[in-house]
Amino acid sequence: MSLAPSLPSDRCSDSATNIDTRLVHAGRNPDAFGGLVNIPVCRGSTILATSLEEWESGKLPSNPMASYGRFGTATTRAFESAMAELEGGHAAIVFPSGLAACTHSILAIARPGDHVLITDSVYGPTRQFASRVLGRMGIEVEFYDPLIGGGIGRLLRPHTSVVYVESPGSISFEVQDVAAIAEAAHQGDAFVIMDNTWASPLFFKPFEHGVDISIQAATKYIVGHSDALLGVATANRRAWDLLRTGAHDFGQTAGPDDINLALRGLRTLAVRLRRHQDSGLALAQRLCRHPAVARVLHPGLPGDPGHALWQRDFHGASGLFGVALHPMSRAQSSIFFASLRLFGIGLSWGGYESLALPVDPPARSVRPLPCDGPLIRVHAGLEDVDDLTADFSSALDAALRAGSSARPDRVIVKAQEA
């Protein structure tokens, strides 16, 4: 029993078709829904069969309860098929958040007694999961230098089951040589899992570089409007059965309304992401020249240590980057954030709005991030880049003028008014 109509084989699914076109058509089948352009929001738990034979035909050897809403509806299937096509993998499965996609992708592969290698530049919550949870399950975690490349072969052990990459790295934006890491990992029969959220399926093709499972925090650029939480993991044929079984064993699922918002966002991803890229690069270049800025962390900048690898492997850049400031007082930092008018202070990114988030230097085991002053994670939204530059620069100017004499009590009042 099919839970969703399959996509017609001739509907823009050819990999030679430009990805802008495929983003618009992937996962769609208007003929199956009375000509509707968009897949309907299919809500439901119970899925009825019309006969005993139909009920039995819907059972899968690996999951005899597959004919149930937890395993997806037409809305789910449309999004999963679109993501698998766009990422270049075999099949995809949705999760209720990006972190759920990260953690359950690891759990789908790793077993008690295994050794797991995770990049030192990994997303903070993924690192916390690895440190707090995997050890309790008898899985040994080792963090490795994100710049190790093919040298990761020296760290592989007979029981290494997962090599986890994230490129660029979270907060620090180091670019990894994913192809070299994957080649070494596969020689040791390990699976390569990648968090590909920064680049999206538009700007990095993980399976062309040897990745086995690619993860998107669809909350970010896929949804694109900061109004839904969602994750998705796409696997190649080698990893698919493990990923799917692992997700089902833990009862992972996602609601059709959030998936519908992701399908909506997917259609405009190319247009939005190119604007994010252009604004992010322009803003990063301009901030490099500001006297308050010690360093801008953006692999798209020619002077960035990861620029050559980024040019070789990526098709573009997103709007997310880091700014390391010269040392300044707590009061100056507070004045900076209170002076911003177009940049919000908030978690997440990938929406249409610009964000400036104060972050602590990330926890590291191997390669510390040198940073003497405040560190800011910046997301360039869809506003005019000249306005964004003026706003950010003006706030930095205000912090410099304040010096170390700014009174914290006055700063707090100003921040509340902003």
Active site residues: 70, 123, 195, 220
Alpha helices in 88-138, H assignment, sequence order: 98-109, 124-129
Region of 46 on the Ramachandran plot (φ > 0 left; ψ -120 to 50 alpha; else beta): beta
**Counting beta carbons within 10 angstroms of the beta carbon of residue 62, is it exposed (0 to 12), middle (13 to 18) or buried (19 or more)?**
exposed
Structure tokens at 28: 């769609």
What distance in Å separates the CA atoms of residue 328 and residue 293, rounded to the nearest whole number?
A: 11
**Counting beta carbons within 10 angstroms of the beta carbon of residue 393, is it exposed (0 to 12), middle (13 to 18) or buried (19 or more)?**
middle
CA dihedral sign, ordered 392, 393, 397, 398: negative
Strands 91-95 and 115-119: unpaired
What distance in Å separates the CA atoms of residue 339 and residue 343, rounded to the nearest whole number?
A: 10
What distance in Å separates the CA atoms of residue 310 and residue 102, rounded to the nearest whole number?
A: 23
What distance in Å separates the CA atoms of residue 152 and residue 167, rounded to the nearest whole number?
A: 15
What distance in Å separates the CA atoms of residue 359 and residue 29, rounded to the nearest whole number?
A: 44
Q: Element (H or E) spanning 195, and its range?
A: strand 191-195
- Integer angstrom CA distances of residue 270 from 20, 100, 222, 343: 6, 25, 10, 23
Determine contact, residues 142/159, Cβ cutoff 8 Å: no
- Pick from 371, 165, 147, 219: nearest CA to 358: 371
What distance in Å separates the CA atoms of residue 237 and residue 17, rounded to the nearest whole number?
A: 23
Question: φ and ψ at 83, to 5 degrees?
Answer: -65, -40
